[in-house]
Amino acid sequence: MASPSKDPDKTVSLRTERAKRAGAPETDGEPQPGYPATRLRRNRRADWSRRLVRENTLNIDDLIWPLFVIEGTNERQDVGTMPGVSRLSIDLAVEAAVEAASLGLPAIALFPHTDRALRDEAASQAFNPGNLVCRAVRAIKAEVPELGVICDVALDPYTSHGHDGLLVDDDVDNDRTLEALVTQALVQAEAGCDILAPSDMMDGRIGAIRSALEQNGFTQTQLLSYAAKYASAFYGPFRDAVGSSDQLRGDKKTYQMDPASGDEALREVALDVAEGADMVMVKPGLAYLDIVWRVKEAFKLPTFVYQTSGEYAMLVGAAERGWLDRDRVIMESLMACKRAGADAVFSYFAPEAARRLKDER
């Protein structure tokens, strides 16, 4: 029987080789101890230990609640493709805002369902200081001034053709749309909106809006750019909620991003940051978390993600059929966004998740 090697270098080499075969991770070129010295399950054994070593946390400060508003008083309309979500008249939206504040949510986001009679080719209702969104903003800020209010800057809730911009010969005209978006943004800022969120994906709109805000004294109004918004199939239920699904002529592929592209998202973000965006958004969420990760790693600035209506509908639909545990899948999906690098998540689950997080405290 051969005797053990007395050569210390050879002994270290043999130990290293065994560790590599065991799959041990390397640090600074040296493998760390593998099994049985390292048992990763030790840290998972008890709840208190899992909480101590948890790499990411989800809290109420990370959640933004999107709300759909409609005309009327004490009016609630269920959105058929989004079970549990309703369009709310302004008085009920104020009540929802009060609830959001009581839960500790930092902000809500408002989206209007515009009556067909008020929609036209020029999106003229978007520029009306007395439109539905502006009245909702004023009512909410009067009741809960400490709650952040985010407004969508895009023309699709107001156009008769369902596009985010103005059409010229059936094509969305970028530069004419910029002028319209600037007017819409100023109207919303005047109403008291805290964060303007351009979601249209027109080239140059962040710079145009930022310049207009500065020139008109709205120097503290924040800009959240939907910097990487993809031409996704996950938006269907949202379009139902705002009443544009059956009005859209064609598609939005000429201005929203191609789902096959990733590097282009970084170019979009870089341009919007240079133009004055305070924070950026990636939309949709779960299918695009690689983009969230890349944006956060590249720019180290506030990065939000929108858990879209389609994601919501999928999870709720599966939970209603008993295929998924609703409570667990909600929290897991939100945590996935955080793990990918998101600083905040737009989610229709926000109040439900907030209540659960409060209960867990």
Residues marked active site are found at 229, 283
Which two three-digit tokens encode residue 183? 């007017």
Which two three-digit tokens encode residue 221? 């109004």
Say if residues 342 and 307 touch (Cβ distance below 8 Å). no
Closest by Cα among 315, 286, 312 to 66: 312
CA distance 108 to 322: 30
CA distance 308 to 238: 8
Which two three-digit tokens encode residue 320? 């209603």
Which amino acid is it at 338?
A: K
Burial code (b: 16+ CB inside 10 Å, e: under 16) for 93-119 equals bbebbebbbebebbbbbbbbbbeeebb
Closest by Cα among 166, 144, 159 to 112: 159
Which amino acid is it at 291?
A: I
Say if residues 79 and 68 touch (Cβ distance below 8 Å). yes
Closest by Cα among 329, 335, 336 to 290: 336
Placement of tokens 């065991």 in the chain: 22
Q: β-pairing, 303-306 with 344-346?
A: parallel
Residues β-bridged to residue 198: 153
Which two three-digit tokens encode residue 59? 């809290």
